[in-house]
Amino acid sequence: MPKAIWNGVVLAESDHTEIVEGNHYFPPESIHQEYFLPSDTQTVCPWKGVAHYYTLEVNGKVNRDAAWYYPSPKPAAKNITGYVAFWRGVEVVD
């Protein structure tokens, strides 16, 4: 089962991730919300739409904008609506 791990803690785990451009996108219900803080950061992907970000806080350490999701993606990416992906040192293992 794919898991997202950072600072020794499992942030998300699910057998139902969507893989897009090499990234595992985890369903919203698989996220351990206690580690996620809202961020004002947004970026735009030409085919997916506007990405919103979370900052992670685990055991007193902060990883800014290390997770992202598309709350209202373009039609080509509707399968990842609300799903969360990771970068910036977050390890995704199967």
Model confidence pLDDT, tens digit, residues 20-40: 999 999 999 999 999 999 999
- Helix, strand or coil for residue 77? helix
- The encoded tokens of residue 53 equal 């970000």
Hey, what are 86's tokens?
Answer: 């990771």
The class of domain 3-93 in CATH terms is mainly beta
pLDDT, tens digit, 9 for 90 and up, residues 32-91? 999 999 999 999 999 999 999 999 999 999 999 999 999 999 999 999 999 999 999 999
∠10-16-20 over CA atoms, to 5°?
A: 90
pLDDT at position 45, please? 98
Q: What is the DSSP letter of 47?
A: T
Q: What is the pTM of this model?
A: 0.96
Domain spans in the chain, listed from the N-terminal domain onward:
3-93
Q: Where are the alpha helices (DSSP H) in 15-72?
A: none
Q: How far is CA 12 from the centre of its chain?
A: 9
Which pLDDT tens digit goes with each residue over 6-22?
999 999 999 999 999 99
